[in-house]
Amino acid sequence: MTPALALALVLAGCGDNPAAHAAKARSAFAAQDFVTARMEALSALDSGKLPAADSQALLRLLARAQLQMGDGDGAQATLTRLEDAGGGGRAVNRMKAEAALLRGLPRQALSLLGQDGDADAWRLRAAAHQALGDNAQALSAFRQGMAAGDNVQLARDYARFLITAEDFAGADQVLAVMQRLDPKGLDTAMVEGALRVRQGQLDAAGAAYDRAIAAYPRRIEPLIERANLADMQSQLDRAIGLIGKAARLAPGDSRVLDLQVQFASEKGDWEKVRQLLAPHEVDLDPRTPNGLTYAEALLRLGHPEQARVIFARALLLSPQNPYSRMMLAEAQLATGDPGTALRTIRPLSDSLLAGQRELDLALRAARAAGDPSADALAARLRSGQWQQDQRLAADGQAALGRRDWAAAITAYTALLGNGSDPEVLKRLAVACTNAGRHQDAIAYADRALAQAPRDPDMLHIAGLVRLNAGQDMAAAQHLLRRAVDADPANRLFRADLARAQAR
């Protein structure tokens, strides 16, 4: 019997009995099966046969389930229905504030919370301040909330905030609070897993996720994180099996689809990638990982013309994306257009950061086009200078990854030498702004922007370093606005613009 048929039979067993549906909704909610809780609550409420008090209680449960599922619009509609039925109070206002946050309205959320001093109100204030790019106010709200009383969701969000800030000792202290309040809770296990991953304790992280999978078999979140962890540990087949279980539980979930596509591409199963994404082809944004992976699948499966169209659109929309540029050149070469492929790959192959793959592709294109640059490209690949550049680039990237700004500055300064490269200059600006060397950061960012004046990344870093320095805020806002205009889908750009506008 399929899961869908089993569920249909269970629901049929409730008949038109609203009390039975309501009981199932409460049971499902307690088990954190929010999809079933929502469905059962709607069935009970739609009957119109519940007493007024029961209807109000079920509307509250429905709204909470919708909030847990991230459905801000649905929750808002339910809460309006609840207020029309006579329900209200601070708890309802807090739910309305959370719905506003999910709908992208943080200022409205703050207004709804008013002077509410409940711990959950502080959780929502912190989320609103984060959405507005004000981490200092968010931290203050978290601390006031923790002092206001015990609240597992507040502790969960605070722990995640601290993990993102790499305050692992602080996150461990908040995790201890969660373990005291809800030792077997899903959120407790998920936070423990996330923290242990960041601390490099992968076995402990796996144990936390495995406990969550066993305790909450209908929740996909622990399956998703366990699959990600298995992939990190080079256990690709295990990762595929775990995400397959998640797909059976939630076949339409975008997070599950994303990982199915990622794992299939890692395995080189391009036909699987095509099968997964072909039904979504019309809606695929070519800039997204799924859009780009679908195009690569078409290329690997012998459809280079189709792949070329998608990669060209992706590069037009995000000209700073090196993967789009490289794959477009691959597709152009595969369609018998080596001259265009060489022109496409040149910005990458000419860079001081150019690696083996970029130079090999440029060399193949140059030879196929009969271009005289082929000899220089071949010589560069054999040179000791290129090998030294590769070591410096790797050192710089590793230093950025571990937030060792001084080491990153040393590596990229040596790589730059007496030359000039906008991407290296951008990375120097990133390292300097994080190291508090604000004037150096602005100088490097401005040099990068002068060399690539229309590149969204260069516009962004030129605005960001001014924002971080607290200098020339009008210019910071102008540059960040231009970056957002050039790449409207970039969440980081939009978040930094919001921070600048809030100053």
Could you tell me if residue 217 is inside a domain? Answer: no
Q: Do 352 and 444 belong together in one domain?
A: no
Q: Do 429 and 483 belong together in one domain?
A: yes
C-alpha span between 39 and 56 (Å, rounded): 16
C-alpha span between 354 and 63 (Å, rounded): 52
DSSP state of 34: H
Q: Tens digit of pLDDT for each residue in 77-108?
A: 999 999 888 888 899 999 999 999 999 999 99
Could you tell me if residue 122 is inside a domain? Answer: no
Q: Do 369 and 405 belong together in one domain?
A: no
Task: Write the CATH number for 478.
Answer: 1.25.40.10
**For all residues of the chain together, what is the average pLDDT?**
92
Q: Do 402 and 499 belong together in one domain?
A: yes
Q: Tens digit of pLDDT for each residue in 230-278?
A: 999 999 999 999 999 999 999 989 999 999 999 999 999 999 999 999 9
Q: Do 377 and 405 belong together in one domain?
A: no
Q: Do residues 474 and 455 touch, judged by C-beta distance below 8 A? A: no
Could you tell me if residue 439 is inside a domain? Answer: yes
Last residue of a domain, which of 88, 120, 147?
88
Q: How many CB atoms lie within 10 A of CB 419?
A: 8
Confidence of residue 8 (pLDDT cuts 50, 70, 90): very low
Closest to 349 in 3D by CA, of 333, 373, 331, 370: 373
Q: Do 499 and 431 belong together in one domain?
A: yes
11, two tokens? 């629901």
Q: Do 465 and 373 belong together in one domain?
A: no
What's the whole-number mean pLDDT along residues 439-466? 96
Q: Is 386 exposed, middle or buried (0-12, 13-18, 19+ CB in 10 A)?
A: middle
Could you tell me if residue 235 is inside a domain? Answer: no
Q: Do residues 183 and 152 touch, judged by C-beta distance below 8 A? A: no
pLDDT at residue 3 in the model: 46
Q: Do residues 123 and 493 touch, judged by C-beta distance below 8 A? A: no
Our count of domains for the chain comes to: 3
pLDDT at residue 240 in the model: 98
C-alpha span between 103 and 77 (Å, rounded): 12
Q: Do residues 428 and 419 touch, judged by C-beta distance below 8 A? A: no
Q: Tens digit of pLDDT for each residue in 32-84?
A: 889 899 999 999 888 777 788 888 999 999 999 999 999 999 999 999 999 88
Could you tell me if residue 70 is inside a domain? Answer: yes
C-alpha span between 294 and 300 (Å, rounded): 10
**CA dihedral sign of residues 153, 155, 160, 165:** positive
Last residue of a domain, which of 52, 70, 88?
88
pLDDT at residue 445 in the model: 97
C-alpha span between 483 and 382 (Å, rounded): 38
Could you tell me if residue 53 is inside a domain? Answer: yes
C-alpha span between 413 and 369 (Å, rounded): 35
Q: Do 336 and 424 belong together in one domain?
A: no
C-alpha span between 102 and 94 (Å, rounded): 13
Last residue of a domain, which of 381, 406, 432?
381
pLDDT at residue 482 in the model: 96
Q: Tens digit of pLDDT for each residue in 369-379?
A: 999 999 999 99
C-alpha span between 154 and 121 (Å, rounded): 9
Could you tell me if residue 321 is inside a domain? Answer: yes
Q: Do 374 and 403 belong together in one domain?
A: no
Domain hosting 480: range is: 398-503
What's the whole-number mean pLDDT along residues 477-499? 88
Q: Tens digit of pLDDT for each residue in 133-188?
A: 788 899 999 999 999 999 999 999 999 999 988 899 999 999 999 999 999 999 99
Q: Do 456 and 416 belong together in one domain?
A: yes
Q: Do 297 and 374 belong together in one domain?
A: yes
Could you tell me if residue 336 is inside a domain? Answer: yes
> What are the b/e assignments for 181-212, b being 16+ CB within 10 Å?
ebeebbbbbbbbbbbbbeeeeeeebbebbebb
Q: Tens digit of pLDDT for each residue in 330-352?
A: 999 999 999 999 999 999 999 99
Closest to 215 in 3D by CA, of 240, 183, 251, 238: 183
Q: Which residues have a Cβ under 8 Å from the Cβ of 451 and sit 6 or more positions away?
A: 420, 422, 425, 458
Q: How many CB atoms lie within 10 A of CB 5?
A: 9
Q: Do 447 and 492 belong together in one domain?
A: yes
Q: Do residues 331 and 304 touch, judged by C-beta distance below 8 A? A: yes
CA distances from 39 to 45, 120, 219, 250 (A): 10, 26, 16, 14
Helix (H, G, I), strand (E, B) or coil at 309: helix
Q: Considering just the CA atoms, what is the radius of gyration of the chain in Å?
A: 26
